[in-house]
């Protein structure tokens, strides 16, 4: 009696395993970021991560910076509302509401950014 | 038959576990945000050596700034050159000066790294204001890339009042140094951004946005799908002030010492070299669309020119990779 090394069912099983592995990898690569999350870094260190989607009311954040900053997180948005520096560029950025939105305060070495977004980086 | 099936199922499970495990290890990701070169910098590296490499880069960039490129840092090589009117420099700085001069020549002086005295008068990093015409003329008398001569590693100033300023190439040159430092690391991919000058590493294709001059920090007018290259943009909206109802930005025309006014709001360059992309973004902004595109082609680079009225001009090699995402802008060529 002749024995085949692999039968049709065996091959199907192998194929299914490979497809499953590929599927898992693809899902991990493409899964959407549904949570809107803001990240605050001061001098390169993440000091606060705020799940904006999960907030049920406003929350004021005052990271330890010089000059001082006042950051207001609300459901679905975050903004630098006060900066103790001259140029006020981070305040002028207004409410950050979508992935990729960023406010930078160079004097306070602080970055407030909404994580995620359709682009990997922005050239400016 | 049953035993065979069980064995195969075990093999399949092992394959699946191995694939996931490998992916988990190889895809180790590290991110950093830091401040250097008077701007915010960020990086994301993927691969086995990513965490260690990501720790090293901020210190490397800061060392390049304070040790070599920044004329404001007293101990930097550029500051020492300006103080002593020349001298011997490291091979690394000599290479940067040589490449910068080459682009200055090709651009007919649209890139000029001796504009330091003129920039000081405008003081865009401090308290910006319109300089007096006489002051401007006096400062312009000491500019001109030809006034700096390089022989080997020796720099000579023909005019001792010339002020070397590598602001137009520093971030790009730093990207080149970062790439060199990372080349022996086990990385899958990486993206390093020094104030909007970007280095893409590895075979992965990234989506890079071009900032919308009229929008907020995260708003883009177009995206580009790119890999393994450097991207730099010069924009009139990054540093500016308004006086008497008029807007003055920081990209100065070496011929007049005044902000360039040619209808452009930003120019993006895609190149293999960070220094070239950085230098050309300034030079092409100064030259305008037609001459700028010719210069980019001469240097083997691609370019995107964005005008105040929303017209976008893109060079042929970048056309397929570029997608305009904001309806206020349109490709016109």
Question: Is residue B310 one of the residues assigned to a domain?
Answer: yes
For chain B, what is the mean pLDDT?
Answer: 93
Share of chain B above pLDDT 70, in %: 92
What is the predicted pLDDT for the residue at B2?
Answer: 62
Q: Which of B12, B23, B211 sits opposite A17 (nearest CB)?
A: B12
What is the predicted pLDDT for the residue at B22?
Answer: 61
What does the block give as tokens for B328? 């206020």
Mean pLDDT along residues A43-70: 91
Among B6-20, B144-158, B180-194, the minimum mean pLDDT is found in B6-20
Mean pLDDT along residues A34-40: 83
Chain B hits for A113, CB-CB cut-off 8 Å, are 218
Residue recorded with tokens 């809107």? A36
Does B29 contact chain A (CB < 8 Å)? no
Among A29-38, B80-89, B118-127, the minimum mean pLDDT is found in A29-38
Does A11 contact chain B (CB < 8 Å)? no
**Which ipTM score applies to this complex?**
0.89
Best mutation target among B19, B33, B189 (most A Cβ atoms within 10 Å) is B33
Is residue B52 scored above 60 in pLDDT? yes
Q: What is the pLDDT of residues B251-305, one digit of tens each?
A: 999 999 999 999 999 999 999 999 999 999 999 999 999 999 999 999 999 999 9
* Residue closest to B215 by CA, chosen among B325, B304, B333: B325
Confidence of residue A16 (pLDDT cuts 50, 70, 90): confident
Confidence of residue B51 (pLDDT cuts 50, 70, 90): very high
Three-state SS at A111: strand
What is the predicted pLDDT for the residue at B5?
Answer: 63
What is the predicted pLDDT for the residue at B310?
Answer: 97
Question: Is residue B160 one of the residues assigned to a domain?
Answer: yes
**Of chain B residues 214-273, which have a CB less than 8 A from chain A?**
216-218, 220, 223, 231-233, 235, 238, 266, 268
Q: What is the pLDDT of residues B210-251, one digit of tens each?
A: 999 998 778 899 999 999 999 999 999 988 999 989 999 999
State the Cα–Cα distance between residues B285 and B233, nearest whole angstrom.
9
For chain A, what is the mean pLDDT?
Answer: 85
Does A106 contact chain B (CB < 8 Å)? yes
More confident position, A46 or B90:
B90
CATH code for the domain defined by A37-114:
2.60.320.10
Is residue B192 scored above 70 in pLDDT? yes
Mean pLDDT along residues B6-21: 67
Question: Is residue B225 one of the residues assigned to a domain?
Answer: yes
User: What is the extent of the structural domain holding B185?
Assistant: 29-331
Share of chain A above pLDDT 90, in %: 46
Q: Which residues pair with A37 in a beta bridge?
A: A51
Is residue B174 scored above 90 in pLDDT? yes
On the question of a cis peptide bond just before residue A67, with omega within 30 degrees of 0, the verdict is: yes
What is the predicted pLDDT for the residue at B329?
Answer: 98
Question: Is residue B184 one of the residues assigned to a domain?
Answer: yes
Share of chain B above pLDDT 90, in %: 86
State the Cα–Cα distance between residues B276 and B269, nearest whole angstrom.
9
Q: What is the pLDDT of residues A64-80, one digit of tens each?
A: 999 999 999 999 999 99
Mean pLDDT along residues B75-85: 96
B216, A109: Cβ pair inside 8 Å? no
B/e letters for B213-228, b = 16+ CB within 10 Å, e = fewer, are beebbbbbbbbbebee
Q: What is the pLDDT of residues B114-139, one digit of tens each?
A: 999 999 999 998 889 999 999 999 99
Question: Is residue B312 one of the residues assigned to a domain?
Answer: yes
What is the predicted pLDDT for the residue at A2?
Answer: 55
Q: Which of A14, A101, A118 sits opposite B8 (nearest CB)?
A: A14
Mean pLDDT along residues A77-104: 90
A101, B216: Cβ pair inside 8 Å? yes
- Supply the CATH number for residue B232's domain: 3.10.520.10
Does B211 contact chain A (CB < 8 Å)? yes
Mean pLDDT along residues B149-161: 96
More confident position, A35 or A56:
A56
A124, B266: Cβ pair inside 8 Å? yes
Is residue B26 scored above 60 in pLDDT? no
- Number of structural domains found in chain B: 1
What is the predicted pLDDT for the residue at B160?
Answer: 94
State the Cα–Cα distance between residues A124 and B306, nearest whole angstrom.
12
State the Cα–Cα distance between residues B114 and B254, nearest whole angstrom.
9
The answer to whether the Cα torsion of B304, B229, B38, A107 is positive or negative is positive
Confidence of residue A42 (pLDDT cuts 50, 70, 90): very high
């Amino acid at each position: 009696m002749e024995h085949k090394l692999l039968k049709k069912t065996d091959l199907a099983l192998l194929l299914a395993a490979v497809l499953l592995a590929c599927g898992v990898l693809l899902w991990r690569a493409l899964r959407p970021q549904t949570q809107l999350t803001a990240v605050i870094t001061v001098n390169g260190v993440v000091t606060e991560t705020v799940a904006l989607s999960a907030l049920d009311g406003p929350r004021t954040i005052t990271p330890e910076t010089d000059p001082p900053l006042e950051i207001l997180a609300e459901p679905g948005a975050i903004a630098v509302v006060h900066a103790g520096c001259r140029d006020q560029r981070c305040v002028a950025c207004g409410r950050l509401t979508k992935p990729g939105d960023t406010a930078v305060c160079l004097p306070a070495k602080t970055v407030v950014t909404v994580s995620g977004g359709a682009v990997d980086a922005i050239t400016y | 038959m049953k035993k065979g099936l069980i064995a195969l199922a075990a093999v399949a499970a092992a394959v699946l576990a191995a694939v996931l495990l490998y992916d988990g290890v190889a895809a180790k990701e590290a991110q950093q945000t830091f401040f250097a070169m008077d701007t915010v910098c960020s990086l994301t590296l993927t691969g086995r050596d990513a965490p260690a490499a990501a720790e090293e880069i901020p210190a490397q960039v800061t060392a390049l700034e304070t040790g070599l490129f920044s004329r404001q840092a007293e101990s930097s090589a550029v500051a020492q050159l300006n103080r002593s009117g020349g001298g011997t420099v490291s091979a690394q700085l000599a290479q940067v000066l040589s490449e910068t001069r080459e682009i200055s020549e090709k651009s007919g002086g649209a890139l000029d790294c001796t504009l330091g005295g003129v920039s000081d008068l405008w003081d865009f990093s401090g308290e910006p204001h319109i300089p007096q015409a006489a002051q401007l003329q006096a400062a312009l008398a000491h500019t001109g890339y030809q006034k700096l001569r390089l022989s080997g590693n020796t720099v000579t100033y023909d005019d001792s009042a010339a002020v070397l300023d590598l602001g137009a190439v520093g971030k790009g040159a730093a990207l080149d140094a970062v790439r060199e430092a990372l080349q022996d690391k086990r990385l899958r991919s990486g993206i390093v951004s020094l104030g909007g000058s970007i280095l893409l590493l590895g075979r992965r294709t990234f989506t890079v946005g071009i900032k919308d001059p009229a929008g907020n920090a995260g708003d883009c007018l177009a995206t580009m799908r790119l890999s393994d290259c450097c991207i730099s943009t010069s924009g009139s909206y990054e540093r500016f002030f308004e006086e008497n109802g008029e807007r003055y930005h920081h990209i100065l025309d070496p011929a007049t010492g005044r902000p360039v006014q040619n209808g452009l709001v930003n120019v993006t360059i895609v190149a293999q070299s960070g220094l070239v992309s950085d230098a050309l973004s300034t030079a092409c902004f100064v030259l305008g669309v037609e001459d700028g595109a010719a210069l980019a082609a001469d240097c083997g680079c691609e370019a995107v020119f964005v005008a105040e009225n929303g017209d976008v001009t893109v060079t042929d090699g970048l056309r397929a990779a570029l997608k305009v995402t904001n309806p206020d802008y349109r490709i016109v060529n």
